[in-house]
Each structure stands twice: as C-alpha cells, then as structure tokens.
Amino acid sequence: MKKLDGKIALITGGGRGIGRAIALAFAREGAAVALVARTATEVERVASEIEEECGVETLHAACDVSDAASVGRAFARLAEKFGRGCDILVNNAGIAESAPLSKTDDEMWQRHLAVNLSGTFYCTRAALPRMIERGWGRVINVASIAGKTGAPYIAAYAASKHGVLGLTRSAALEVATRGVTVNAICPGYVDTDMTTRALANIEAKTGRPAAETLEAIKRMSPQGRLVTAEEVAAVALLLASEEGRGITGQAINVDGGSVLF
C-alpha cells in the first residue's frame, strides 16, 4: 500500500514550482490528482507528466481562485470526474509582488488579498463539507515565512499570508474532532521560477545584478542556500498522510532555519 492510495488531491497553482512538486509527490504515493491554475496549459503539461510517470488518474482545469464562481466550477468538475470531492486540498496558488508601502496601490493590495487569502478561503470552504461528511480530510495551505515576520516592500504579500495563518488556525479548531486536519507550510526562498522572477524584477528596478541578490538571499539562511520545491513537497506529503493525523493548526517552516518560531 502506498501512503495515499485511494485518495483524491486537489492542488491549486499546480502547474509549476511547489505545486508541481507536491502533485508529483502525491501521485507517486498513489493519489489521484486534480490540478488547477489560471494557466491551463501549465497544468495540462504537469497532468500528462504525472500520468506518464505514475499511471494515476488526473484532472486539469483552468481556475481563478480569486473568483468564487470559478472555484465552484472547478469543484464541480472534480466531482464529475471522480464521483466525489477531494480528500486532500493544497492551497498553493499565490502571487508575490513588491513595492514600498506608500507606492502600494489599491489594485496591488486587493490582488494579494483576493488570490492569496480569499482564494484559500474559497477553496477550503468548498472542500470541507465533504471531508467532514466522510470523516477524513487534509487541508494544506502554502503560506510563507513572510506570514510570520513580514519584510520591507512586501506589505500586501505579508498581510495576505498572515491572514492565511489565521484562517488555518481557526479552520483547524473547527474540524479537529471531525477527522480533518488543517495546516500551513511556510517556505522561505525556494528555488523556483517565482524566485527567479523576483530577482529579475530587483535587477530591473535597482540595477543590482540578479546573481548578487541571489547570494545575499542565500546568506539570509543559516544553511546558506535556497530550499527546494521537493523539500516543501516532502512536508506536504507528511501532512497529507495518515502519519500526519496528529498535526493540525500548525504553520511549519521550511526555510533552512531563517525563522525560529
């Protein structure tokens, strides 16, 4: 028996980076995987990769998690494909932009709250009733160490991720006796396209070479490196599995020791 045999996992933002790594980790342990993202071509590619490597059922669909109606359609497609709701929900879809607080306009602020926080809320609200009905479920929210500490120039991002941690803790307590766990993973800087884009943005705005900024970021970690998407996925697999049933309401750092609470 594999750890997730018979389980159905829905992963938002599943087309690249952390989402892709989690999808592969779950599929390798036997889970059927539904992948949603705003860019349909990316999740289609990952779904094909999973089917070829792991031989499990997949679903891929376009979904804007900031739109409750779009989330509803994605969950309807999931039920149509698999005959029921998901056992495991990974709220991974997110955005990260930077600007001084005085230059953070209303649109940027609302984008972060809509995608990072409301998106997590909409998907969790859609998934929980059937998890409670079956007496088993896992909700895993991909947050950030910025949700614990904050940092200059990321007020909108940090605020949205702080909100995700509050949502995680409250939801976990509501369902603690119902066989459902709700947890967050708080990565530091991860070796993904998101970090690469952030470095390019810094270079464009400041003229500081991306390679120089990358080295400075690495020095922020006691381990002197970026963490990998696969390391984040390994924690997600623990939380999704039966071995993780005693962990709920937690925000687990995967950051090389940068934040110690």
- Residue 173 CB neighbour total at 10 angstroms: 12
Is residue 157 part of the annotated active site? The answer reads: yes
Buried b or exposed e, range 8-45, using 16+ CB within 10 angstroms:
bbbbbbbbbbbbbbbbbbbbbbbbbbbbbbbeeebbbb
Q: For residue 155, give Cα distances in angstroms to 34, 98, 164, 242.
A: 32, 8, 14, 36
Q: For residue 23, give Cα distances in angstroms to 58, 131, 198.
A: 10, 19, 24
Identify the DSSP state of 101: G
- Residue 139 pairs in a beta bridge with 89, 182
- Residue 251 pairs in a beta bridge with 184
Which residue of the set 122, 153, 157, 189 is catalytic?
157
Q: Are the C-beta atoms of residues 183 and 240 closer than 8 Å to each other? A: no
State the distance between the two ends of the chain, measured CA to CA, in whole angstroms: 35
Buried b or exposed e, range 70-88, using 16+ CB within 10 angstroms:
bbebbbebbeeebeebbbb
Active site residues: 157
